[in-house]
Amino acid sequence: EPYERVVIWLGREWLERRSDPGEALDTCFDTTRERGFHLLRFDAERRLHYMQRIQQLEEALRDRSFGAARMADTLCQQMLIDVNRDVLRSRTAQEERDSYRVDPKMEEVLRYILDHLGEELTVESLSKRFFISRYYLMHRFKAVTGYTVHQYISQKRLLRAGELIRAGVPVMKAAEQAGFEEYSTFLRAFRGTFHMSPREFR
Q: In terms of domains, do 125 and 59 share one?
A: no
CA 37, chain centre distance (Å): 24
* pLDDT given for residue 99 in this prediction: 41
Instruction: Tell me, yes or no, whether 2 lies in a domain.
Output: no
Q: In terms of domains, do 86 and 108 share one?
A: no
- DSSP secondary structure, 18-87, as one string: TPBTTB-TTHHHHHHHHHT-------HHHHHHHHHHHHHHHHHHH--STTHHHHHHHHHHHHHHHHHHHH
Beta-bridge partners for 20: 23
Residue from 87, 113, 126 nearest 4 by CA: 113
Collect the ranges in the chain with pLDDT lower than 50.
Answer: 93-94, 96-101
Instruction: Tell me, yes or no, whether 6 lies in a domain.
Output: no
Angle at 169 between CA 164 and CA 171, to 5 degrees: 90
Residue from 51, 45, 15, 50 nearest 30 by CA: 15
**Single pTM value for the model:** 0.55
User: What tens digit of pLDDT does each residue of 112-154 get?
Assistant: 998 999 999 999 999 999 999 999 999 999 887 778 999 999 9
3-class SS at 168?
Answer: coil
Instruction: Tell me, yes or no, whether 80 lies in a domain.
Output: yes
Stated length of the chain:
202
* pLDDT given for residue 182 in this prediction: 92
Q: In terms of domains, do 93 and 142 share one?
A: no
Among 36, 70, 98, identify where a domain stops: 98
- DSSP 8-state secondary structure symbol assigned to residue 147: S
Residue 105 neighbours by CB under 8 Å, 6+ apart: 130, 132, 140
* pLDDT given for residue 169 in this prediction: 93
Look at the chain and report how many structural domains it folds into: 2
Q: In terms of domains, do 109 and 186 share one?
A: yes
Domain holding 118, by residue range, is 104-201
* pLDDT given for residue 36 in this prediction: 66
- Contact assessment for residue 86 and residue 99, using Cβ atoms and an 8 Å cutoff: no
Whole-number Å distance between alpha carbons of 59 and 35: 34
User: What tens digit of pLDDT does each residue of 27-40 get?
Assistant: 999 888 777 667 78
* pLDDT given for residue 91 in this prediction: 60
- Contact assessment for residue 40 and residue 29, using Cβ atoms and an 8 Å cutoff: no
Q: In terms of domains, do 71 and 149 share one?
A: no
* pLDDT given for residue 101 in this prediction: 43
Q: In terms of domains, do 111 and 196 share one?
A: yes
